[in-house]
Chain A
Amino acid sequence: MMVPNSVVFEPKPRRKKRLSKNVRDAIVAYSFIAPNLIGFAVFTLVPLIFALVLSFLKWDGANPMEFVGLANFSRLLTDKTFHRALCNTILYTAGVVPFTMVCALGLAIMLNQKVLGRNLSRTISFFPYVASLVAVAAVWNFLFSPTKGPINLMLNALTGIPIEELPRWAADKNWAMFTVILFSVWKNMGYYMVIYLAGLQGVNQELYEAASLDGANSWQKFWNVTLPQLAPTTFFVSMILIINSFKVYDVFITMFAGGDNQLSDTTRVLVYQIYNTAFRALDFGYASAMAMVLFLLVLGITIIQFRSEKKFVA
């Protein structure tokens, strides 16, 4: 393993005399940090800076790089496919964020009651989050299958609407986004439920007692005590959800049997566009300009979160 030698072996007494205490302390400290720092610098920091530089270049990976200034970024402004991908990402975010939050909060409030089997229910609800995406996407893909899938067959049996008129889910480009959103909510809500459960532990119980004395019913208690008290948690949850939604791509590949070949103009998201521009069109500079847009979006959300967290804490 990567145990730094200088840490395992104490500095020899002779060296102790020569080096000042500060220098010795620094050597020890840096040998603790070095294994991680080297890996981190080479595989995260350098590529990050490289990405920024690349966004000003034109490069296909083989021919010499060419400096093009802001050309990649001005191309973004008029690129319809890119706009489409950005819109799809925002649409996905707008669907996933509120939907997941409502489900997660509902689950958390329910499983915060002192009822039998709540620990088991918590465990069960959390499991889809850690389950393999490819495996669970395969199941949902079958369940949503348009003509023979159990979901449409059940809808048909319940409502009497003929199968042909029921939504074709992932197979229909107008329903595909909605289908992916449903799947995403199902997969991730257990995770946000756990965060909400932690938030609920922090709600001041005296407020409920006071509300009861004032004759508030459960609904009023929820609106006037639980929700306001959970505001910081809700804020935190929404920020993580937005950031994760901007980064989405894997869910879209795995929800379609044909992978991303099957993605249409209604399901191509930002990261797909970056991936495709870089690894298929080999337009590394342009892909990096798109990546910068993703970076700035996430950075913006993070700054908002950072600022408001200070406000919430203070």
Chain B
Amino acid sequence: MNKEKKGLRSSRMMIYLMMILLAAMTVVPFIWMLSSSLKLSKDVFTFPMQWVPEEPRFQNYSDIWTRIPLGKFIFNTAKLSVIVTLLQFFTSSFAAYAFAKLRFKGRNFLFMAYIATIAVPWQAYMVPQFIMMRQFGLNNSHMSIICLQAFSAFGVFLMRQFYQSIPDELCEAARIDGLSEFGIWLRIMLPNSKPAISTLVIFTFVNTWNDFLGPMIYLTKTELKTIQIGLRMFITQYSSEYGLIMAASVVALIPVLVIFLSLQKYFIQGVASSGIKG
């Protein structure tokens, strides 16, 4: 008995040790980033590392705003992320309601069409999509990114799966009480699907915020760029300004970090329950 306890304790020690190691592996790059962002470029690579800079150079954080239009980039990204998330939420939850709770001709066929395209990689049709957007005169406009991101089949699928778990009797009762279909969606479906909504909203927002390839293809004018491609532009232009690059990277990370820390429960639940695509 005693021996077993000892074994348990030592295996627990092992787990703690490995946990610390893994946490370090994840966290150290971020700490290095933060520490370097407060250094002169020439001091970033001194060895042994100086984790806490002797004279933290906060000036890096004010310089980046004048080197690149960082404020504009953040505004653009925030604008796009909010619009895409709202559109995605409204259009998918509307469509999902019809697919889950209404009977009409062509329902199964349409839903199959949605499902079938979930599996198609965007990269397979990005070229014709670009050609079309250019025809519409949408390249080099934020509208292109909105159109690209706001109508995903995945959102419809996610919401529909959740709506199906809400009993039909609830809707029937509401119909008898004289509620319109829109009223049922608003008063019954929405309040009962908070987990699915939070998953959809969080992931749409973060995916749009972090999207790289879409904005890279569509937004070539500096004043239209999002934070990701703006940061990328900065890195290629000033590749040896290590301190400034790190400061700009920290700024690009902060919004997602704040959202993640405040809503982490939903992030993890969302992945665990549906395996959100990346």
> A residues touching B (Cβ–Cβ < 8 Å)?
1-4, 7-8, 10, 22, 25-26, 28-30, 32-33, 35-37, 39-40, 42-48, 50-51, 54, 61, 107, 110-111, 113, 115-118, 121-136, 138-140, 142-143, 145, 148-150, 153, 186, 188, 190-191, 194-195, 197-198, 218, 236, 240, 243-244, 246-247, 249-250, 253-254, 257-259, 271, 274-275, 278-279, 284, 287-288, 291-292, 294-295, 298-299, 302
Contact = CB atoms under 8 A, between A and B. Distances in A.
Nearest to B261: A123
A134 B29 CA distance: 14
B182 interface: yes
B37 to A, nearest CB: 10
Contacts of A198: 271-273
CB-CB nearest 6 A-B residue pairs? A39-B151, A135-B249, A36-B91, A50-B128, A198-B272, A29-B104
Determine which residue in B11, B127, B151, B212 has the highest number of CB atoms from chain A within 10 A of its CB, and name it: B127
Interface in B188-233: 206, 209-210, 212-213, 216-217, 227-229, 231-232
Nearest to B230: A134
A33 B99 contact: yes
18 contacts: A8-B182, A10-B180, A29-B98, A29-B104, A32-B95, A33-B110, A37-B110, A39-B87, A51-B125, A126-B268, A127-B260, A132-B252, A134-B228, A139-B33, A140-B29, A240-B277, A259-B236, A287-B127
Given A3-B90, A250-B213, 18 more contacts: A28-B102, A29-B102, A45-B113, A50-B131, A50-B132, A115-B19, A116-B16, A123-B261, A130-B267, A131-B257, A136-B29, A139-B32, A198-B271, A218-B11, A250-B212, A271-B123, A291-B123, A298-B119
B246 interface: yes
Contacts of B36: 142
Contacts of A279: 127, 130, 217
Sorting the interface of chain B by its residue count into under 10, 10 to 19, 20 to 34 or 35 or more gives 35 or more
A118 B244 CA distance: 35
Interface string B24-61: 01110110110010000000110101000000000000
Contacts of A292: 124
A36 B272 contact: no
A258 B236 CA distance: 6
Contact of A110 (B18, B27, B104, B117): B18
A302 B124 CA distance: 15
A236 B276 CA distance: 12
A69 B79 CA distance: 44
B252 A50 contact: no
Contacts of B107: 29
B167 interface: no
B15 interface: yes
B249 A134 contact: yes
Nearest to A288: B127
Contacts of B162: none
Contact of B260 (A1, A122, A130): A130
Contacts of A61: 131
A195 B275 contact: yes
A9 B22 CA distance: 56
Given A40-B151, A117-B19, A291 B95 contact: no
A63 B271 CA distance: 47
A33 B98 contact: yes
B253 A135 contact: yes
Contacts, number: 282
A35 B90 contact: yes
A33 B95 contact: yes
B23 interface: yes
Given A25-B102, A148-B45, A134 B278 contact: no
Nearest to A295: B124
A194 B268 contact: yes
Contacts of B273: 198
A254 B36 CA distance: 19
A29 B213 CA distance: 35
Contacts of B26: 124-125, 127-128, 186, 190
Contacts of B15: 110, 113, 115
A32 B19 contact: no
B174 interface: no
B120 A48 contact: yes
Given A115-B19, A132-B210, A134-B235, A2 B180 contact: no
Interface string B146-159: 01101111011000
Determine which residue in B104, B105, B206 has the highest number of CB atoms from chain A within 10 A of its CB, and name it: B104
B165 interface: no
A284 B242 CA distance: 38
